[in-house]
Amino acid sequence: MATRIALITDIHYSRTPSALANRKSQRGAALLRRTVDRLNNDIKPDGVAVLGDLIDDPEAPEAEGLLLELRQILERLACTWLAIPGNHDPNVRKFFGIFERHNRLDLNDVRLVPFVDPERPGYNAERDPNGLRRMAQQVEGHAGPRIALQHVPVGEPRRETPYGYTNHEAVFEAMRRSRYSLAVSGHFHRGRPLREADGGGFSTMVVPALCESPFTFALVNVDGEHITSELFHYGDDKDP
């Protein structure tokens, strides 16, 4: 039986317009509400992962209230869900004071393992020694597919996306050694399709941002070693 995982990222919710014209931050809650309704009524996934940058400005006075509003929308989901912070969200302590922190999440025979990695210059990230150890620890004894979730795309910065991991070689080695099937990320708003990683052994995917046209979320279908993906768009319609 295939496991269906919906992926949402880069909502960048704000009460005020973003300085970037293509980032429709004020529509964030409406777009998320519409996505939750579509997931509940039509797609019916086994689980949902939100991959960071839920809000646009972590220093805004209303930042906590915006996150609480988004959490209330996500709580309407008819399935299990988790969220991780991105570089536009408040620090880990504040973020996980609002959202539940998961070490892992099992959906049927698929194990999701979320990572929150230190930011590095150029909007990149690094998986520190503790994070690399967690890659093995969180899948120990699990026989089914393993999926790593993180905000920044897994890979070498400026190679396949503008952003990546400063220690991407160590991350790739750990992915292969611990037999992960897939690494899913956000952060790069254009996204990047599901494809095999450099050197093989696992696949990577970058989910496009919900806050920019065509306002996208994704669905990954995992059936044993066979993984496929779909993108769902709202287009340029003005009604969120």
The domain ranges of the chain are 3-233
Using the CB atoms, write b or e for 80-117: b if 16+ within 10 Å: ebbbbbbebbbeeeebbebbeebebbebeebbbbbbbb
**Among the listed residues 101, 87, 90, the one whose alpha carbon sits nearest the alpha carbon of residue 67:** 90
Question: How many residues would you count in the chain?
Answer: 240
Model pTM score: 0.96
For residue 186, what are its two tokens? 């956000």
Q: How far apart are CA 124 and CA 120, in angstroms?
A: 5
pLDDT of residue 202: 96
pLDDT of residue 238: 54
pLDDT of residue 225: 87
In this structure, CATH architecture of domain 3-233:
4-Layer Sandwich (3.60)
pLDDT of residue 235: 72
Asked whether the beta carbons of 206 and 164 are under 8 A apart, the reply is no
Give pLDDT < 50 ranges for the chain.
239-240
